[in-house]
Amino acid sequence: MKITNVEFVISAVQPHQYPDDALPEFALAGRSNVGKSSLINRMIMRKGLARTSSQPGKTQQLNYYRVNGQVYLVDFPGYGYAKVSKVQRQQFGTMIETFLSDREPLKMVLLIIDIRHAPSKDDVLMYDWLKHFEIPVCVVTTKADKVPRSQWDKQIKLVKQTLGFQTGDHHVLFSSETGLGRDELWAVINSMIEETSEEAEETAEVSIE
């Protein structure tokens, strides 16, 4: 996908701050430090737009990036970071749960998993939540550059098994370092946008009859 324009729109902490232009949204969820912000930067080809850090806990709000005036990538705070206070963790949890349960423009969650490790309990919980709310999922195994190619299949299998990956879910192997998987992930995003706009047209047609 050719990126012509990217805007950082808002760091939202309250639902009333979320954009109201109804563009399709794709949110990135995953453990702290897994590489969500780096993945956004790679997707939009802007090195420092989404703030990244080797220190976990960098992203603390829902950060909205509008790409080509067509779609939002939404960077979530990471979960599972021990040094975040209990109150803060509860606030994050509530914010994310509210978002997932009640966000009409949300088309899909990209669940970002480090290919080097089996998904954590929090990852499995997030996956189960997404299933519960019937939100389409794309599991993105990232940091592929950190393991030898010969181990990719074995690690992907481990990730899928631990999550209970279901047929119909998408999976993309990714590296923010090398750009592996970037085109494939844009293809998944674009196919979801097309699918949902077709559904919207069908609904519109039905309501005319």
Measured at CB, which residue is nearest to ligand GTP? 78
Is 34 among the residues that bind ligand GTP (CB under 6 A)? yes
Shortest reach from residue 33's CB to ligand GTP, in Å: 5
Q: Can you tell me the distance from the alpha carbon of 122 to that of 28, in angstroms, rounded to the nearest whole number?
A: 14
CA 22 to chain centre: 18
Is 57 among the residues that bind ligand GTP (CB under 6 A)? yes
Site string for ligand GTP, 132-171 (x = CB under 6 A): ----------xx-xx-------------------------
- Which residue number, 84 or 163, has a Cβ lying nearer to ligand GTP? 84
Distances (CA, A) of 144 to 111, 112, 150, 151, 152: 15, 12, 11, 10, 7
Residue 34 binds which one of ligand GTP, Mg ion, none, with CB within 5 to 8 A depending on kind? ligand GTP
Q: Can you tell me the distance from the alpha carbon of 78 to that of 63, in angstroms, rounded to the nearest whole number?
A: 12
Three-class DSSP category at 96: helix
**14 token code pair:** 């309250």
DSSP assignment string, 10-53: EEESSGGGS--S---EEEEEEBTTSSHHHHHHHHHT-TTSS---
Please tell me the count of residues contacting ligand GTP according to CB under 6 A: 24
- Which residue number, 58 or 66, has a Cβ lying nearer to Mg ion? 58
Helix (H) or strand (E) holding 125: helix 121-132
Residues 149-168 that bind Mg ion (CB under 5 A): none
Residue 53 binds which one of Mg ion, ligand GTP, none, with CB within 5 to 8 A depending on kind? ligand GTP
Shortest reach from residue 151's CB to Mg ion, in Å: 26
Q: Which residues bind ligand GTP (CB under 6 A)?
A: 30, 32-38, 52-54, 56-59, 77-78, 142-143, 145-146, 175-177
Q: Which residues bind Mg ion (CB under 5 A)?
A: 36-37, 58-59
